[in-house]
A and B are shown apart, each in its own frame.
Chain A
Amino acid sequence: MSLLEIRNLDVRHGLLQAVRDLSLSVEKGETVALVGANGAGKTTLLRTVAGAHMPAGGSVVFNGIDITTVPAYRRVGLGIALVPEGRRLFGQMSVEENLVLARSAGRRGDWTVEHVLDAFPNLKPRRHAKAGNLSGGEQQATAIGRALMTNPDVLILDEVSLGLSPLAVDRVYASLQSLIGGGTTIILVEQDLRRAMRVADRIVCMLEGRIVLEGKRGEISREQVSEAYFGLGSDKGRVHA
């Protein structure tokens, strides 16, 4: 049984259909990178899995439980943590307070404030700083740390590198590598294909609300992704590399 099974998902934003009849399974311990142009539906898909957006059709099954209509806060309790685009930290609260807050999910596990600070050493000297005063890279690390504090079964990261300096992105990815090594299941959106291909077991390319290409790392080429990304292939159906 897959950890996460998305079946025939349709998601709308008012008149606009952002995700169209999309199915995707994610196995335990897998790292999946979603790529795709602006408006492809990546963020909507992630938000729907996290419960921040309700679908118009289809279902989301997690750990064998149909969670399609389960509200977001209860999904955190079931083990789904989203690091949203733009981080969305509590700016007036300290790094530590942001991290401790996530304990309210009530899930048992290894993640403590100390453990997060070990995973993101650049946060150690910033522990008591207000989240609103942090650099972009420190904020992203705090947001990931906050998600980890819920001891999730799946960690969902939207736009990991957006707005970060190359150095900050390197730091975040170095920390992600240690999570991946530890067996955490991760779904991430990454615009930089090189980084996505380094970190993910599987690349999934979306176009206009659908998956148009997916394949395992090493079995999928940059040229294939580029063609699928722009919709330049002759066949618009889903391609398995």
Chain B
Amino acid sequence: MNAANKQPIVTVSGLEKRFRALVVLDQIDFSMRADEAVGIVGPNGAGKTTFLSVLVGAHPPTRGTITFAGEDVTNLPAAERSRRGIIRTHQIPRPFGGMTVFENVFVAAANGGNFAREEAYERASESLRLCGMFHLANRRAETLGLLDRKRLELARALGTNPKLLLLDEIGGGLTDGEANELVGTIRELRQRGIAIVWIEHIVHILLQIADRLICMDAGRIIADGDPQTVMKTPAVVEAYLGGSVE
């Protein structure tokens, strides 16, 4: 294990996000190392997706700071953060439908990753290979099925050469076999040293990758630790299922 991996890759302090009167993120303190895969669970409206959006710079925080690889990125726009290595995937993949699979990933590498043309070409090819999509490189993205759209979403993110990959419900709607394939790809990314934060409702898929789980509820982190322990924490079960039966 390389010493750099033991350093926090991202540290979030006192993070708060309000939409007018609505507090969506409430005093979030969070830190993770580069060699970690962290799962995020929590009921609807807990603030999970907003947390990812604030981390990548899609929404500015109302308060608090975000430090990435030792640099304060709180006020950096999303494009700058992407070039530094923070990237996310979206719940509903929206590729450029009229472009080919390869062009979609190339655009991500050239713009999001800031690679020069030849390097972006190599980067796009490698990302497609990693995601098992190279044979589909010349297909128009709009002709892809759900699993391939999700793979393409992942390949586009990888095209930017991320250090921190944020996945938002990438497993939803897949069959068991498809979900297992996706888990295999994500495991491979981890082995390549990419730090992963993964929001997922399908907990048993998440537990195949995450070595640490946090549970959010009403904008706060209510549990953080070993996944099996977190899922059995009374506050976590209560957040999903309501209070226990008297």
Contact = CB atoms under 8 A, between A and B. Distances in A.
A6 B202 CA distance: 25
B116 interface: no
A231 B202 contact: yes
Nearest to A162: B44
A129 to B, nearest CB: 25
Interface in A188-203: 191-195, 197-198
Main SS class of interface, B:
loop
Given A15-B149, A222-B241, A226-B237, A232 B173 contact: no
B44 A192 contact: no
B44 A38 contact: yes
Interface residues of B, number: 23
Nearest to A20: B175
B43 interface: yes
A69 interface: no
A35 to B, nearest CB: 7
Given A16-B173, A38-B43, A231 B204 contact: yes
Contacts of A208: 202
A173 B160 CA distance: 52
Nearest to A18: B173
Interface in A9-68: 15-18, 35, 37-39
12 contacts: A15-B146, A16-B146, A16-B172, A18-B173, A35-B241, A37-B203, A192-B243, A194-B244, A222-B245, A230-B203, A230-B240, A232-B203
A192 B237 CA distance: 11
B177 interface: no
A39 B244 contact: no
A160 to B, nearest CB: 12
Contacts of B145: 15
Contacts, number: 66
B146 A191 contact: no
Given A15-B145, A16-B172, A230-B231, A38 B241 contact: no
Chain A facing B: main interface SS: mixed
B204 A232 contact: yes
Contacts of B203: 37, 230-232
Interface in B38-59: 43-44
- For the complex of A and B, the 3 pairs showing the least CB-CB separation, nearest first, are A192-B242, A16-B173, A15-B146
A120 interface: no
Contacts of A195: 242
A225 interface: yes
Contacts of B231: 230, 232
Interface string B218-246: 00000000000001000001001111110
Given A38-B44, A191-B242, A192-B241, A230 B204 contact: yes
B201 interface: yes
Contact of B201 (A15, A38, A197, A225): A38
A226 B241 CA distance: 8
